[in-house]
C-alpha cells in the first residue's frame, strides 16, 4: 500500500462532550462545530428530508424527525419491532429516490426469529405530518438467523439506477462470509420492493442467493456511491487492525475471513490480502483501526477543499476521517478529532457536514467553515 501522510487536527477532547460552537483547525481552515440536537439515545442513522429536516434512528427502536432549530419530534409510529441487543437494533434510514412521489422511507434493523436474529429491511410511507409510517412492510430478510448480537451491518444506499444496496455483516460467524448459499457477510442489491434485479451477478446460480452483489465481507457500516463513477464504495471494519476502504465490484470476493490486514482477537495471524490475488484488493487500509461507521463523498462547495473527498465516521478514531483521493487512489488523510465516537455522517442541504455521536446521550453535530453563517 502507498505510504501517505496523516495530519491530525486539534482535538475536541478537552471541551465538554456537547460542544458549544467551538472551532477546530483543519487543512481547509478553522471548522466550526455546533451542537444541533442532543439527548438522543444511541443515534445510528441520519438522512435529510426534502424540506431540510433530519430523519434519524435511535438504536433502541425509535425513528425521529429533527427540525432545523434542533427540536426533536416524538417517535414516529409504524416502525417495525427490533431486536435490541449489543450491536443490534434500529439501524440505518434512507429515502426513496422518488420520495416526493412515493414518500417511502427505508429502515434496516435487527429482527428476531427462529434461530436467533438477522438484519432486515422494511419500508413504509411517511405521512405528510411526519407522525407515522403507513403500510410498513419488510421487503428483505438476511438468512439464516443466528445467535449473538454482533455484526449486523448495515447501511442502505441507493445506486444511480434506483436499486438498493444493503450491507450485511457476517454476524461474527466468520466462514459463512464465503458461503454464497446465505446472506452473512454479503452486500445485496435489490429493487425498492425487495425483488431481485435480473442483472445481479449470481442470478441463475443455484448455489447462491440471487440478491448477492458481493461477498467475503466482515462488517460494513459505512457505504456511499461515488458521485462520478456511480460505483459503490464501502469502509469495512477489520478485526484487530486492518479496516479497509473498498470499491465494490459485482460478484467480487473481498476475502474475509481468509485474508485481512488485521489479526484475530486472540492474536492469531491472518494472511495479508496480497497473498491471495484472486480476492479484490482494498483501495486503502487502516492500522490501527478507525472503526468506520457512516460515510459520504463530499460534493458541496461550502468546504471547497473537501470536494470529492471521502468523509468517514470513526468510532475508535473518535472523530471524522477525511480521505483525499486522486481518482481511485488515496493520496492523503486528515483526522478531525471530535471527542466522541461518530456513528454516521451526512451532507446537509446547506453544504455543512452533519455527524451523529455514538452515546446513550447522543447528539447531532454540524461542521462548517468557521467564517460561515
List pLDDT tens digits, range 168-190. Answer: 999 999 999 999 999 999 999 99
Q: What is the pLDDT of residue 279?
A: 98
Burial 185-222 (b: 16+ CB within 10 A, else e): bbbbbbebebebbeebbbeeeeebbbbbbbbbbbbbbb
Q: What are the residue ranges of helices labelled H in the chain? A: 99-102
Query: Do β-strands 329-337 and 6-8 pair in parallel, antiparallel, or remain unpaired?
Result: parallel
Residues 6 or more apart from 202 whose CB is under 8 A from it?
180, 208, 209, 210, 212, 251
**Chain-wide mean pLDDT for the chain?**
94
Q: What is the pLDDT of residue 31?
A: 95
- What 3-state DSSP class applies to 175? helix
Q: Nearest to residue 285, comparing CAs of 254, 252, 251?
A: 254
List pLDDT tens digits, range 227-286. Answer: 999 999 999 999 999 999 999 999 999 999 999 999 999 989 999 999 999 999 999 999
Q: Which three cell numbers stand for residue 269?
A: 495471524
How far apart are the C-alpha atoms of 44 and 214, rounded to whole Å? 24
- What 3-state DSSP class applies to 233? strand
Dihedral through CA 194, CA 197, CA 198, CA 199, nearest 10? -150
Q: Which three cell numbers stand for residue 227?
A: 458521485
Q: What is the pLDDT of residue 251?
A: 98
Is there a contact between 341 and 318 (Cβ–Cβ < 8 Å)? Answer: yes
Q: What is the pLDDT of residue 23?
A: 87
* Residue 21 pLDDT level (bands cut at 50, 70, 90): low
List pLDDT tens digits, range 22-37. Answer: 789 999 899 999 999 9
pLDDT at 132 over 90: yes
Q: Does domain 6-369 have CATH number 3.40.225.10?
A: no
What burial class does residue 134 get, using C-beta atoms within 10 Å of its C-beta: 0-12 exposed, 13-18 middle, 19+ buried? exposed
Query: Do β-strands 353-357 and 362-369 pair in parallel, antiparallel, or remain unpaired?
Result: antiparallel
Is there a contact between 273 and 281 (Cβ–Cβ < 8 Å)? Answer: yes
List pLDDT tens digits, range 139-164. Answer: 999 999 999 999 999 999 999 999 99
List pLDDT tens digits, range 81-125. Answer: 999 999 999 999 999 999 999 999 999 999 999 999 999 999 999
Half-sphere exposure for 320 (CA within 13 Å, toward CB): 33
List pLDDT tens digits, range 297-349. Answer: 999 999 999 999 999 999 999 999 999 999 999 999 999 999 999 999 999 99
Q: Which three cell numbers stand for residue 45?
A: 442513522
DSSP state of 230: -
pLDDT at 354 over 50: yes
Rg (CA), the chain: 19
Q: What one-character-per-residue DSSP string does 43-84 give?
A: EEEEEE-TTS-EEEEETTTEEEEE-TT-PBPPPPB-PPP---
List pLDDT tens digits, range 60-87. Answer: 999 999 999 999 999 999 999 999 999 9
Q: What is the pLDDT of residue 28?
A: 87
Name the residue with cell 409510529: 77
How far apart are the C-alpha atoms of 360 and 358, rounded to whole Å? 7
Q: Which three cell numbers stand for residue 221?
A: 457500516
* Residue 17 pLDDT level (bands cut at 50, 70, 90): very low
Dihedral through CA 148, CA 280, CA 291, CA 241, nearest 10? 90
What burial class does residue 102 get, using C-beta atoms within 10 Å of its C-beta: 0-12 exposed, 13-18 middle, 19+ buried? middle
List pLDDT tens digits, range 188-225. Answer: 999 999 999 999 999 999 999 999 999 999 999 999 99
How far apart are the C-alpha atoms of 334 and 323, rounded to whole Å? 7
Is there a contact between 118 and 147 (Cβ–Cβ < 8 Å)? Answer: no
Q: What is the pLDDT of residue 372?
A: 67
Q: Residues with catalytic annotation?
A: 151
Give the C-alpha distances (Å, rounded to integers) separating 149 from 86, 87, 129, 170.
5, 6, 35, 11
Q: Nearest to residue 84, comparing CAs of 152, 138, 38?
A: 152
Amino acid at each position: 500500500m502507498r505510504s501517505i501522510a496523516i495530519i491530525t487536527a486539534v482535538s475536541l477532547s478537552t471541551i465538554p462532550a456537547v460542544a458549544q460552537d467551538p472551532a477546530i483547525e483543519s487543512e481547509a481552515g478553522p471548522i466550526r462545530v455546533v451542537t444541533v440536537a442532543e439527548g438522543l439515545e444511541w443515534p445510528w442513522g441520519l438522512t435529510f428530508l426534502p424540506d431540510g429536516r433530519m430523519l434519524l434512528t435511535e438504536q433502541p427502536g425509535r425513528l425521529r424527525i429533527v427540525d432545523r432549530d434542533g427540536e426533536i419530534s416524538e417517535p414516529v409510529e409504524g416502525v417495525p419491532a427490533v431486536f435490541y441487543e449489543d450491536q443490534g437494533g434500529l439501524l440505518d434510514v434512507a429515502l426513496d429516490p422518488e420520495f416526493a412521489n412515493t414518500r417511502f422511507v427505508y429502515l434496516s434493523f435487527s429482527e428476531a426469529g427462529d434461530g436467533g436474529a438477522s438484519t432486515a429491511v422494511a419500508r413504509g410511507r411517511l405521512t405528510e405530518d411526519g407522525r407515522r409510517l403507513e403500510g410498513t412492510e419488510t421487503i428483505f430478510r438476511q438468512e439464516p438467523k443466528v445467535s449473538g448480537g454482533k455484526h449486523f451491518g448495515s447501511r442502505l444506499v441507493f445506486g444511480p439506477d434506483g436499486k438498493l444496496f444493503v450491507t450485511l455483516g457476517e454476524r461474527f460467524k466468520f466462514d459463512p462470509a464465503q458461503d454464497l448459499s446465505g446472506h452473512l457477510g454479503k452486500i445485496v442489491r435489490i429493487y425498492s420492493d425487495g425483488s431481485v434485479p435480473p442483472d445481479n451477478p449470481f442470478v441463475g446460480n443455484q448455489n447462491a442467493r440471487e440478491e448477492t452483489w458481493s461477498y467475503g465481507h466482515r462488517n460494513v457500516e459505512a457505504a456511499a456511491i461515488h458521485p462520478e463513477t456511480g460505483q459503490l464504495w464501502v469502509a469495512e471494519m477489520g478485526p484487530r487492525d486492518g479496516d479497509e476502504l473498498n470499491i465494490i465490484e459485482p460478484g467480487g470476493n473481498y476475502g474475509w475471513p481468509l485474508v485481512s490486514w488485521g489479526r484475530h482477537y486472540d492474536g492469531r495471524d491472518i494472511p495479508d490480502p496480497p497473498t491471495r490475488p484472486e480476492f479484490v484488493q482494498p483501495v486503502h487500509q487502516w492500522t490501527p483501526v478507525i472503526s468506520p461507521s457512516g460515510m459520504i463523498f463530499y460534493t458541496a462547495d461550502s468546504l471547497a477543499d473537501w470536494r470529492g473527498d471521502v468523509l468517514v465516521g470513526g468510532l475508535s478514531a473518535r472523530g471524522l476521517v477525511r480521505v483525499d483521493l486522486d481518482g481511485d487512489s488515496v493520496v492523503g488523510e486528515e483526522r478531525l478529532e471530535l471527542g466522541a465516537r461518530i456513528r454516521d455522517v451526512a451532507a446537509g442541504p446547506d453544504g455543512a457536514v452533519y455527524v451523529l455521536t455514538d452515546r446513550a446521550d447522543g447528539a447531532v453535530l454540524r461542521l462548517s467553515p468557521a467564517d460561515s453563517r
